[in-house]
Every structure is written in structure tokens, then in C-alpha cells.
């Protein structure tokens, strides 16, 4: 397998201003020799992150970005509130630097106050945390990363990226009983919404790439906000609005694994003045998907919070039309997170039209599911994962929608494993690439949870390795659980957590009224006009 067939090569990122593709000799656009490991569920991630931060000492470097941060969110029980843990690290002499999206006003159910309070707590301990509103109008900084560097102890260096914010509702596990510190969602999710999410832990040279992403944003000389009202609030709250210098970046950690990792981002085409590291924006996440989808032959496995926008799923639909043996499985929330009279249809319309596009292209080769826990409560799917033909895998903060591909800041990693997987089928795509251990193991770990399936024993064949068998296993499990519910839930509950997703009907008048609002507010387009006209990225 040649990596050039799957990953973006020089020039394909579409952003020559970034330092990412100039960090390695020869301009390599990905790093080799990494250890990439999925961390499924917030509870596992938070416990691991807590141990790693508490092991840091004076002179170490902790960098993080987040969409939302709740200072009182417990990582692992009382006394482990994230604000306290970060402040204690700073007081020990750890260099703690954070960038939080400033957020819109809390009146609109965002997180302005929480993010400000987390920053204040960190700064009281001696760290520095800035509220960053350098976004396109109506946009957000959606990147979620933590980078831990240890001068003199590079074997401890690690970076985390993915879908999990340092905030309420994320601390859930495989049982999906929800985080005791919960944010309100649509009423169907209950007072303690179950939450499914995935983070990626990276060790090796890719840690330096993730740090470089943070440094580009931190060193941006632009004001943190252009809004006069926001600047007034900064003055009233005595906020830190000037980034102090970072210590020089140390050498990347030594290779330690078999994974090639390509760091991908979204930055919008920012009006009036662009980012110095992306003056025309960056859409490498979208470009990476478009390239990988051209090689899809047997199974696209998606877990996604949204799966919206016909203009985005058009690339998936094209792959389905081109290759009649290709199937797509999507795992999404059964319901949007908001159920207001206006917000619900605004959220639904993008998904309805996107799924119509996919089903026109793939028919019954497209299967979309929601999740529920064993008590029958819907699970909110917040993961952002894609696996194609057990070769290419992506984990990040980005969703399958126009906002994530063009408008907000996002961070993702594509992972290709040098190790081939010996289990049959050894080359499901039939292109000679061979199944890769990381991608297949990621897909199997997630599928087994949703199916309530046991891990195959050593030396035993695993039927789920076969993409066609896996597709039918999802279909049969969901059908049995749906029938149990429809039959009044009599008798033992069938195994599994999968429910077939059936889009609701929206009357034509409501569609007409909500579609413009969806495009303007829910799923806006951050591309330059020349790309919008061609639906190019």
C-alpha cells in the first residue's frame, strides 16, 4: 500500500501558510512511527488525563484548546475538578496555557460564563487561559486538544484530540448511565443524558504536530475579538487578552509505533482579515475525506453527531453510486439535542435531506442507527469517527456537515497503520491495500459495544471482521430490538443497543420555513465564494 493513495500529499492541503507541512525534512505531510490509541468514552479519557497531569512537574508544558470548559467538571471523583487540577499543575510550576472559545451569550444556551470561570481559576494558579473569539461570524472554535510535553522525559509526551470537551455531560462510560454533572438536552434523553464519545491518544512525532497547531493559534497577533461589546466585557472582567510567549518548541518525541498520522484542520475563510497560518482558511479535513472516499469499496463506518448537509454527503453518495458493493453504516443521535418548536425542525431538515441523498445513491446499502442504553434511554452520539475499508481511520472534533468542513475551527487525525491485519478478509477493499490493524480494531471495538458482542477468543475467527457480515449483524440486532419495543417490551430484552433510525416527516411548509434558518444559523458555509459556486473544498 502506498500512503500517497490515502493521505494528502504536498500541495493537497490547500494551505501553504501553515508550518505543519514544513516541519519535516522533505516537506512530509504526515509523521511516521507513532502510537495512536483510541480512548472510547469520557470516563476512560478523563481518568487517564488526570493521572498524566498529576505526574507533571515544574518546567513541563501543558497546552489545551476547547469549545467548552466547566471548571467544576470532575475527572474522577471529588477533588478532581478540571479547574482545580489545572490550577494545581500551574502552581507546581507546570507551564499551563489554554485557548477557550469565548462562546456566544449564555442566554442562547452556550458557555460564555463557564469558559470565563475556568480561565480565571487557571490564572489564579499561575497559568494562562485566553478566551478566543477569532472566528467567522456565528462560528466557534471547536478544536479539542490537550498536549503534555516533558523536557528531559520525552517518553512521557502525549497529545489527545477528538470529540471530548473538558465539560459537563462527557464523563460517561460503556454502560451509558450518563454524567452526574449533566447539561440539559432534549427531554427524551432524561435528566442525565447518556453520552457516547471517542478521543485519540497520540505518542511519538505526531505530538509535535499537535503542539504546532496550538502554537499557530496562540501566536496569532490578531485581537481575541473584534466586537466592541466583547472588548468592553474584557475590560470589565479584567481579562487577559495578550498571549505571553511560549517556551521554544522542543524536538519531536522519538518514533515508537507503527502508525502514520496526518493532522487535519478546518479554518474558515475569515472575513476582512484571515488567520496568518490560514489566510484563505483551511479545509484539509474535507479534502482528506474526499481523497479517502475515492478508494472506498466495501464499507464506510461512521459515528457522527450530525450527518447533515447534502453538499457534504454528496461525496459519500458519489462513492456509493460508483461502487455497487459499497455499504455505509452511520451511528448518530436518535434525536437532536434540542427539541424546541423552532430548533427541532432547524436541526432535522439538514439530516433529512442528507439521508435522502445517501439513500437515493445507495438504497438498502445505507443503514443508519441510533443508540439506546439497556434501560431504553437514547444515547447522545457525540463521537466523530470514520473507518473506510478497515484501512483509513479518522478521529477528531469534526462532524459530517458543512459547518465542520468549512466554518468552525476543527482538528482531526487520519491514521494509517503499517501493520496489516492477518484476520480474514485480509484485503476487504480488493485494491491490494490490505486491512490495517488500527482501523479494524477501532471499528470492531465500537461495533462490539453497540452489539453487546464479546471479543473473539485468541485464534478464533471473528465474523465482524467481514464488512458484509458486520453490516448484517447491525441490521439483525436493530430489527430484533425494534420488534421488542413494538411488541410492548415483553420477554427478555434482546442484546444490543441499536435502533434503526427513521427520519421524521416534516410538512412542506415547515421545511420551507426552516431550510433558510438551517443554512444561515445551524450549518453555515465558511468557504470563499469561488469554492461555494462549484461546491469544492
- The reported pLDDT for the residue numbered 347 is 86
Closest C-alpha among 104, 100, 42 to residue 76? 42
The answer to whether the Cα torsion of 94, 212, 123, 143 is positive or negative is negative
Instruction: Give the domains, in start order, of the chain with CATH numbers.
Output: 35-257 (3.30.870.10)
Q: Name the residue among 399, 392, 400 with its Cα closest to residue 428.
A: 392
The Cα–Cα gap between 394 and 398 comes to 10
pLDDT digits (tens, 9 = 90+) for 161-206: 999 999 999 999 999 999 999 999 999 999 999 999 999 999 999 9
| Residue 106: per-residue pLDDT | 44
Q: Which residues of the chain have pLDDT under 70?
A: 1, 104-112, 114, 234, 457-460
The strand pair at 378-381 and 195-196 is best described as parallel
Contacts from 317-321 at CB under 8 Å and sequence distance 24+? 317/357, 317/358, 317/360, 317/361, 317/362, 318/293, 318/361, 319/293, 319/294, 320/358, 320/361, 320/362, 320/365, 320/366, 321/361, 321/362
Q: How far is CA 408 from CA 139, 208, 216, 523, 525, in A?
A: 5, 23, 16, 10, 9
Helical residues (DSSP H) of 260-322, grouped into ranges? 284-293, 310-322
What is the DSSP-derived secondary structure letter of residue 254? P
pLDDT at 111: 55
Output the CA–CA distances (angstroms, integers) from residue 174 to 42, 151, 391, 497, in the order listed: 10, 35, 25, 11
Model confidence pTM above 0.85:
yes
Helix (H, G, I), strand (E, B) or coil at 310: helix
Say which residues have a Cβ less than 8 Å from residue 376's Cβ, sequence separation at least 6.
Answer: 485, 489
What does the alpha-carbon distance between residue 6 and residue 262 come to, in Å, rounded to a whole number?
10
pLDDT number for residue 112 = 61
Distance from chain centroid for Cα 151: 29
Q: In 282-424, which ranges are continuous DSSP H helix?
A: 284-293, 310-322, 343-362, 402
Q: What is the pLDDT of residues 403-428, one digit of tens each?
A: 999 999 999 999 999 999 999 999 99
- Tell me how far apart the alpha carbons of residues 109 and 103 are, in angstroms, rounded to a whole number: 10
Amino acid at each position: 500500500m502506498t500512503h500517497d493513495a490515502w493521505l494528502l500529499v504536498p500541495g493537497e492541503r490547500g494551505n501553504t501558510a501553515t508550518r505543519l507541512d514544513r516541519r519535516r525534512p522533505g516537506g512530509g505531510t504526515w509523521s511516521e512511527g507513532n502510537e495512536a490509541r483510541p480512548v472510547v468514552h469520557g470516563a476512560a479519557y478523563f481518568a487517564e488525563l488526570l493521572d498524566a497531569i498529576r505526574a507533571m512537574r515544574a518546567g513541563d508544558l501543558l497546552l489545551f484548546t476547547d469549545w467548552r470548559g466547566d471548571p467544576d467538571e470532575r475527572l474522577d471523583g471529588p477533588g478532581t475538578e478540571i479547574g482545580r487540577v489545572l490550577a494545581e499543575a500551574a502552581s507546581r510550576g507546570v507551564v499551563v496555557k489554554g485557548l477557550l472559545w469565548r462562546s456566544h451569550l449564555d442566554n442562547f444556551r452556550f458557555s460564555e460564563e463557564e469558559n470565563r470561570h475556568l480561565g480565571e481559576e487557571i490564572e489564579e494558579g499561575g497559568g494562562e487561559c485566553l478566551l478566543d473569539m477569532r472566528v467567522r461570524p456565528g462560528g466557534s472554535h471547536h478544536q479539542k486538544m490537550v498536549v503534555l510535553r516533558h523536557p528531559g522525559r520525552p517518553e512521557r509526551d502525549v497529545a489527545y484530540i477528538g470529540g471530548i470537551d473538558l465539560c459537563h455531560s462527557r464523563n460517561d462510560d460503556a454502560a451509558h448511565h450518563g454524567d452526574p454533572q449533566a447539561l440539559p438536552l432534549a427531554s427524551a434523553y432524561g435528566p442525565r443524558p447518556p453520552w457516547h464519545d471517542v478521543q485519540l491518544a497520540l505518542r511519538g512525532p505526531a505530538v509535535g504536530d499537535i503542539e504546532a497547531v496550538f502554537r499557530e493559534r496562540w501566536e496569532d497577533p490578531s485581537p481575541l475579538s473584534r466586537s466592541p461589546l466583547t472588548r468592553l466585557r474584557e475590560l470589565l472582567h479584567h481579562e487577559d487578552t495578550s498571549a505571553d510567549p511560549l517556551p521554544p518548541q522542543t524536538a519531536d518525541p522519538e518514533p515508537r509505533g507503527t502508525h502514520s498520522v496526518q493532522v487535519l484542520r478546518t479554518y474558515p475563510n475569515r472575513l476582512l482579515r484571515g488567520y496568518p497560518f490560514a489566510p484563505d482558511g483551511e479545509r484539509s479535513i474535507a479534502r482528506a475525506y474526499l481523497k479517502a472516499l475515492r478508494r472506498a469499496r466495501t464499507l464506510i463506518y461512521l459515528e457522527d453527531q450530525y450527518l447533515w448537509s447534502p453538499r457534504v454527503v454528496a461525496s459519500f453518495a458519489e462513492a456509493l453510486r460508483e461502487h455497487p458493493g459499497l455499504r455505509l453504516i452511520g451511528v448518530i443521535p436518535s434525536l437532536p439535542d434540542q427539541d424546541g418548536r423552532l430548533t427541532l425542525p432547524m436541526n432535522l431538515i439538514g439530516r433529512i435531506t442528507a439521508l435522502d441523498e445517501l439513500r437515493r445513491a445507495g438504497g438498502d446499502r445505507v443503514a443508519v442507527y441510533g443508540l439506546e442504553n439497556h434501560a431504553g434511554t437514547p444515547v447522545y452520539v457525540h463521537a466523530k469517527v470514520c473507518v473506510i475499508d478497515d484501512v483509513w481511520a479518522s478521529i477528531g472534533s469534526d462532524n459530517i456537515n458543512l459547518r465542520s468542513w468549512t466554518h468552525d475551527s476543527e482538528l482531526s487525525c487520519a491514521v494509517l497503520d503499517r501493520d496489516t491485519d492477518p484476520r480474514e478478509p485480509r484485503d476487504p477493499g480488493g485494491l491490494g491495500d490490505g486491512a490495517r490493524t488500527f482501523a479494524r480494531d477501532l471499528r470492531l471495538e465500537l461495533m462490539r459495544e453497540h452489539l453487546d458482542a464479546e471479543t473473539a477468543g485468541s485464534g478464533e475467527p471473528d465474523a465482524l471482521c467481514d464488512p458484509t457480515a458486520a453490516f448484517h449483524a447491525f441490521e439483525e440486532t436493530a430489527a430484533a430490538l425494534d420488534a421488542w419495543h413494538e411488541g410492548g417490551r415483553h420477554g427478555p430484552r434482546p442484546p444490543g443497543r441499536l435502533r434503526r433510525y427513521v427520519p421524521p416527516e416534516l410538512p412542506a411548509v415547515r421545511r420551507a420555513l426552516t431550510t433558510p434558518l438551517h443554512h444561515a444559523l445551524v450549518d453555515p458555509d465558511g468557504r470563499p465564494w469561488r469554492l461555494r459556486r462549484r461546491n469544492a473544498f
